[in-house]
Amino acid sequence: MTKKPKLLKFIDILCLILVPGALVLILFYTPTERVMGSVQKVFYFHVSAAWAGMLSFLIAAAAGGVYLSTRRQKWDWLSLSSIEVGLVFGLIAILSGMIWAQPIWNTWWVWDPRLTTTAIMELIYLAYFILRSSLNTPESQARLGAVYAIVSAATVPLTFFSIRLFRTIHPVVIAAGGSGGSAFNMTPRMLLAFFVSLFVFTLLLIDLVWHRSRLAKIQAINQGEGV
Amino acid sequence: MNPFWDYLNAIWNILRKDLQVEWRGKQGVPVMLVFALLVVFLFNFALQLSPDLQAGLAAGLLWVSLAFASTLGLNRSVSLEQENKAMDGLLMAPVDRSAIFFGKFLSNFSFTFLVGLVLLPVFSLFYQQNMFKSMLVLVIILGLGAYTSLGTLLAALSIQTRTRDVLLPVLLYPLALPILIAAVEASRSILAGQPISDYQSWMTFLLACNILFTAAGLMFFETILEE
């Protein structure tokens, strides 16, 4: 049986400390937004979750590419794990966004580019699991899964770009040439909490994907013994 | 003969074979056509559409019916090869596998384009506006080109699964969304009589989709079919 690596243990502990730490920072350190009030605090985890989701789908596509050229199973495990974890992060982004949208936009859902793209992205990657589960051998699961992960990652920006040409009501917090000459429309305290959240979620992503990959490996080993 | 000529010849032979099968059996295009018309009728009652339909609705209806009908043809083009293990014969042919992709893509495109051409007069009749516009035909060519190249790739992928052709719509629709958005928007502008500058970016976008998905087909078709 494979032993849990020291570095993974370290990241585990780091996440255990930093996730509540970021929450404390957001709840007590950041100022309350003038117009939106405390519901604005959803923003920190919302954007971080969306970022982690996007990043994991990119990792999945890259790992799929490496799998196709090397044909080593561990890359498929990484690809599969990233998509699974990314799906959860995407869901968190959508749900936290809805919680924010209800008081601010006065509706749970609008057909806005970012919302629609994220929802479609979730559907695309849900189909990934349907695809995998209806394939018989681990080899074909890995091979076709990799192809699908790469093609999907290529269409997500296309979807975003195509819906972007409609008008958007989603707030753009990070924009080139925002107010005050800075790219970020935030106070320094908000900025700090924001970057901490981003960092924590990225770390959490690495941690979860690593754990899930190890699980896939252990599963494969056990199945190999069972035959 | 030089290899490039051989390659074109292989593509042509696959295309010719598919056209011949269709000409003799007449099992693809008529089914797609009837299905597309049924979709139009279903939408007509479900959405209570009036004969003096707005340009936006007519364009949307046209593309939804084309997208639905294409799935039937795409599935058939691959399942046809699975019967009697004809695909094995194709794979054993001493040609590059991407030639099979191109041949299949071109036959799929011709069939769906034919359906599109028949739908135009029907729409003109039902919804009392002239749909015979050269630019609209160009949009149909570009839109269906991108749609069927992605569809051919995904049909080859879904046919490998246990659920066979059931999977194709689930894989294809979310990934094809940017193509459909661009095609609907361009068609809407054309039907509303707007100048070309209004929808030029959509046309360029569709062209880019064509290039991207054909390249994806070239790259991955061999990987998908390998056993």
What are A73-130's pLDDT values in tens digits? 999 999 999 999 999 999 999 999 998 888 888 888 888 777 888 898 999 999 999 9
Confidence tier at A175 by pLDDT (50, 70, 90):
low
**pLDDT for A174:** 59
**pLDDT for A201:** 93
**pLDDT for B131:** 82
Are the beta carbons of B175 and A150 separated by less than 8 Å? no
What does the pLDDT look like over B6-41, one tens digit per residue? 888 888 988 998 899 888 888 889 999 999 999 988
pLDDT reading at A181 higher than 50: no
**pLDDT for A171:** 65
- Within 8 A of B158 by CB-CB distance, chain A residues are 131
Tell whether A179 lies on the interface with B, counting CB pairs under 8 A: no
Comparing A71-80, A166-175, B106-115, B184-193, the range with the smallest average pLDDT is: A166-175
Q: What is the DSSP string of chain A?
A: -PPPPHHHHHHHHHHHHHHHHHHHIIIIISPPBTTTBGGGGHHHHHHHHHHHHHHHHHHHHHHHHHHHHH--HHHHHHHHHHHHHHHHHHHHHHHHHHHHHHHHTSSS----HHHHHHHHHHHHHHHHHHHHHT--SHHHHHHHHHHHHHHHHHHHHHHHHHHHTS---S--SB-TT-GGGSSB-S-HHHHHHHHHHHHHHHHHHHHHHHHHHHHHHHHHHHHHHH-
Q: Give the minimum alpha-carbon distance from B183 to chain A in angstroms, rounded to a whole number.
A: 10
**Nearest Cβ partner for A134 among B154, B161, B185:** B161
Of A142 and A161, the one with more pLDDT: A142
E strand or H helix at B93: none
**pLDDT for B164:** 76
- In total, the C-beta contacts within 8 angstroms joining chain A to chain B are 69
Cα–Cα distance measured from residue A125 to residue A59, given in angstroms and rounded to the nearest whole number: 13
Chain B nearest-CA residue for A124: B174
Tell whether A213 lies on the interface with B, counting CB pairs under 8 A: no
Of B99 and B127, the one with more pLDDT: B99
| Predicted interface score ipTM higher than 0.85 | yes
Per-residue DSSP letter, B202: H
pLDDT reading at A57 higher than 90: yes
Mean pLDDT of chain A: 85
Are the beta carbons of A143 and B153 separated by less than 8 Å? no
Chain B residues within 8 angstroms (CB to CB) of chain A: 150, 153-154, 157-158, 160-163, 167, 170-171, 174-175, 177-178, 181-182, 185, 201-202, 205, 209, 212, 216, 220, 223-224, 226
**pLDDT for A133:** 92
Confidence tier at A7 by pLDDT (50, 70, 90):
very high
Chain A nearest-CA residue for B172: A124
Are the beta carbons of A154 and B212 separated by less than 8 Å? yes
- Within 8 A of B162 by CB-CB distance, chain A residues are 134-136
pLDDT reading at B103 higher than 80: yes
pLDDT reading at A207 higher than 60: yes
**Nearest Cβ partner for B182 among A124, A136, A162:** A162
Query: Domain-by-domain residue ranges, chain B?
Result: 3-225
Query: Domain-by-domain residue ranges, chain A?
Result: 40-168+182-216
User: Percentage of chain B with pLDDT > 70?
Assistant: 97
Q: Which residues lie closer than 8 Å to B80 by C-beta, 6 or more apart?
A: B21, B86
